[in-house]
Chains A and B, each alone.
Chain A
Amino acid sequence: MNEVAVIGFARSDRSVTTSGVETLVPVFEQALGQAGLGRREIDFWCSGSSDYLAGRAFSFVSAVDAIGAVPPICESHVEMDAAWALYEAYVKILAGEAETALVYGFGKGTAGELDRVLALQLDPYTVAPLWPDATGVAALQARLALDAGMFSERDMALVAAQREEASCVEALLDRPYTSMPLREHDAARVADGASAVVLAAADRVRGRRAAWISGIAHRVDPQGLGERDLTAVPSATGAARAAGLGADVDVVALHAPFTHQELLLLRALGLPRSTRRCPFPAHAMFSAGLSRIGAAAGEVMSGRAATAAAHATSGPALQQNLVVVLEA
C-alpha cells in the first residue's frame, strides 16, 4: 500500500541572491497552491543547499526567512541536493511524525566558479589540492566508457540533441572538444534556481491530484576515482532495485549533468534506451535532483504516464544516487 504522495511541485530558474529567499517565496506559493494547502498546514519543512555554492558559512539559515517561520516550524536541512531532503521528509511521514511536508532546494550555481568549487568534493589530501575541474573529472569517466565500447560520441551527441531539441547530431559532432572527449553540449547548462515539492500522507491526499511514491531509495559508492569502476554505477543499481524500478516504467526523469552519464545511468538502472525521458533543461545545483522528482510526478499527475521514475545524483562522477518510483 502506498503511504506518501507528491501533491505539489514548482520550480524557478530565476535566482537573485545566494540566500535563495527572493526566489523561494513565489516557488512556495506556487507549490502550495497546486497542493491546495496553506503554509501553516505544512507539518515538516526540509531543504537542501550548499554553503560552498553560496561562498558563505550557514548560507541555508537565511532561506528560512522565505518560510515565515513565526510561529516556529518543524524543519531540517541536508547539505545535499534537495532530493535527499525529500527522502528525509518521506521518512518523517512514514514514521508518523508528519502528515504533510514541503521540501525545497536552491542554489546560485553561477555565483562562483562551479568547476573549481566542485573540486572541494574530492579527497582533501590527495586529490582536491590539485584542483581538478568537475568537467575534467567527468571526462575521465566518459573516456573509460567510450574505450570500453559502451557507447560512442555520437550516442552522447544524440542525448544532447534530445535535450536541445533543435540541434542536429552532425552539427554537434563538428563542435570542438572542451575536455576531450566531452564537447560543450555534453555538459548540461549550469543554471541558478530553486524548486519545491509538497508531500502528503495518504489521509491528507484525499481528492487531490497525486503521484504516489511506490518506492524510494538511495545509495552511495566509495569516492576514489581510481578505486571504483567509473563506468558502473552500483549505487544507482542498488537504489533502483530497492525502489522497485522496473524496465517497463512509462517515463523517467534522469539527473545527468553530462550526456555520457545519462547513458551510464540507463544501463545502471536497467532501462532500455528507448525509455521515454523527461527533458533535462538545465543543471540547477542542489535543486536539480528534486526538480527531477517534480517533473516525474508531473507526468503522473497530468495523466501522461501511469508510472514514472525520477533519479537524482550527487558527488563526483555519479558517486551518490537516489531513485523514486511514482504511480497514479
Chain B
Amino acid sequence: MRRAAVLGTGQTRHGTRRTDVSMTGLCREAIDRALADAGTDWSQIDAVVLGKAPDLFEGVMMPELFLAASIGAAGKPLLRVHTAGSVGGATAIVATSLVRAGVHRRVLAVAFEKQSESNAMWALSIQPPFSAPITAGAGGYFAPHIRSYIRRSGAPSHIGAMVAVKDRRNGALNPYAHLRQPEITLESVQESRMLWDPIRFDETCPSSDGACAVVIGDEAAASSSDRQVAWIRATAMRTEPTFYSGKDHVNPRAGAEAAAALWAAAGIKDPLNEVDVAELYVPFSWFEPMWLENVGFVRPGQGWKFVESGETSRDGCLPVNPSGGVLCSNPIGASGLLRFAEAAMQVMGRAGEHQVTGAATALGHAYGGGSQFFSMWVVGRNP
C-alpha cells in the first residue's frame, strides 16, 4: 500500500463564542495555519475533504457548498463527510485514502463546528411526533453507561475527577484550548455541581466554536518536506448500530474491533509499550478508563487502576490527552480531527508546551453517535 503522511496541522483558538469570525473565517484560521505548518501553498492542494457534525447546528444545509471558494476547493474535488462525533477522524481517514489510492498528491482535510450559531442541545433534543418526552441531554445519554462501567469494574468515584484534573491542567499548556484551568484540583472537581449523576460539571466537555485542518501528502510530498512529517502507519473505522439487543455500551464491540484492526495494520503487538502518547476522544472524564480498555491498552476492568496510578499523566508511561483533549475544547465536528492532529503534532515534535518528550508513535481516536462510530489512526515519526 502507498504511504501517506501528515505534512502539517493547524487549529483555531477554541472558545464558547468566536463572534469575531464567520464560519468561513473560522475554517480559514485553521487552514492557513495548516498550510503554513506544512510549507504548502494553495496551488499544491489537489482536493479538499470537509467534516462537520449535524447541519442543524449551524442551520446551513451542506455548508461546504457556500464555503467552497474560500476554502480553496473551487475547481477541485470536494467531499463532505458526516459520521457523527467521529467525523473529524473519518475526515482524516477519507483524505488519507485519497492519497493512498494514488488519486492525489496533497489533500486538505478540514473540520469545524460553530456551536454558537445555535444550541446543540436544542438540535439534539428535537423530538419527532409519537416519541416519549424522555429527553436527558447529551450527558444524560452517556451517564447510564458510566454508571454501568462503575458497577462492572468496581471503580471508585474519584477516577472521573482525576481525569478531569489531568486534562484541564494539560489544557492550560495548550494555547488553543478553550478551557485552561491550571488551578483545578480534585476537590474542586468533586465539589462542582452534579449534572447528570454520576457526571459532574467539571467532568464534562465545553461547547466550543473551533476548526482544525491537516495537510496529508504522499511519499513524494513527504520526502520533499523539509520538516518532520507524521507518517500514517494505519487507519481504522468501525460501525455498529446505536442499540441492539445485547449491545455492550461500556465496551462497544465496534471500538474494540477497530482498535484490533488498527494495531494489526500498524504491526503493533503491544500497544501499551509501543505507543508513546494517545489522544482519546473523552467528552466525559470517565470515558478515559473506558476507552483505555476498549482500544486494548489495558484489560477490561483495569482502566481505572491505570488512571489512578497516574500513568496517563504527561509524565506517565502512556500520556493521554496532553493537549487537554475534548474536556478542554469541543467544537464537535472538529474534535475528532483535533485528536488526530494532536497525535501528529506529537510525533512531529511540534506540540509546544504539551509536547511529550521523545514521542515517536501516537494514537488519534474519535467516536460518535451512541458509542457506535469509531475512527482511529496511528502516526509515527518513521513510516
Q: Do chains A and B touch in the complex (CB under 8 A)?
A: yes
Which positions in A face B, CB cutoff 8 Å?
45, 50-52, 55-58, 60-62, 64-65, 69-80, 84, 87-88, 91-92, 94-97, 117-118, 120-125, 128, 217-224, 227, 234-235, 238, 314-316, 319-320
Report the contact-size class of chain B (Cβ under 8 Å from the partner). 35 or more
B residues near A75, Cβ cutoff 8 Å: 83, 237-239, 373
Determine if A315 and B65 form an interchain contact, defined as CB atoms under 8 angstroms apart: yes
Closest to A217 in B: B77
Cα A81 to Cα B41 with chains together (Å): 30
Determine if A88 and B79 form an interchain contact, defined as CB atoms under 8 angstroms apart: yes
Given A50-B55, A51-B56, A238-B75, check contact A91 B66 (CB 8 Å).
Answer: no
- Say if the beta carbon of B21 comes within 8 Å of chain A: no
Determine if B79 and A84 form an interchain contact, defined as CB atoms under 8 angstroms apart: yes
Cα A120 to Cα B65 with chains together (Å): 10
B residues near A80, Cβ cutoff 8 Å: 62, 79-80
Q: Mark B294-335, 1 if CB is under 8 A from A, else 0.
A: 000000000000000000000000000000000000000000
Determine if A224 and B55 form an interchain contact, defined as CB atoms under 8 angstroms apart: no
A residues near B133, Cβ cutoff 8 Å: none
- Say if the beta carbon of B81 comes within 8 Å of chain A: yes
Determine if B128 and A71 form an interchain contact, defined as CB atoms under 8 angstroms apart: no
B residues near A45, Cβ cutoff 8 Å: 239
Determine if A219 and B76 form an interchain contact, defined as CB atoms under 8 angstroms apart: yes
Determine if A316 and B60 form an interchain contact, defined as CB atoms under 8 angstroms apart: no
Q: Mark B53-84, 1 if CB is under 8 A from A, else 0.
A: 01111111111111011000111111111111
Shortest distance between the CB of A272 and any CB in chain B (Å): 25
Cα A52 to Cα B82 with chains together (Å): 13
Cα A220 to Cα B73 with chains together (Å): 7
Determine if A76 and B61 form an interchain contact, defined as CB atoms under 8 angstroms apart: no
Determine if B68 and A223 form an interchain contact, defined as CB atoms under 8 angstroms apart: yes
Determine if A95 and B2 form an interchain contact, defined as CB atoms under 8 angstroms apart: yes
Closest to A319 in B: B65
Given A315-B62, A315-B65, A319-B65, check contact A51 B75 (CB 8 Å).
Answer: no
Cα A296 to Cα B240 with chains together (Å): 32
Q: State which of B59, B78, B240 has its C-beta within 8 Å of the C-beta of A320.
A: B78
A residues near B126, Cβ cutoff 8 Å: 55-57
Q: State which of B54, B102, B128 has its C-beta within 8 Å of the C-beta of A94.
A: B102
Cα A218 to Cα B101 with chains together (Å): 16
B residues near A95, Cβ cutoff 8 Å: 1-2, 97, 100-102
Determine if A79 and B254 form an interchain contact, defined as CB atoms under 8 angstroms apart: no
Shortest distance between the CB of B119 and any CB in chain A (Å): 12
Q: Mark B219-259, 1 if CB is under 8 A from A, else 0.
A: 00000000000000000011111101000000001100110
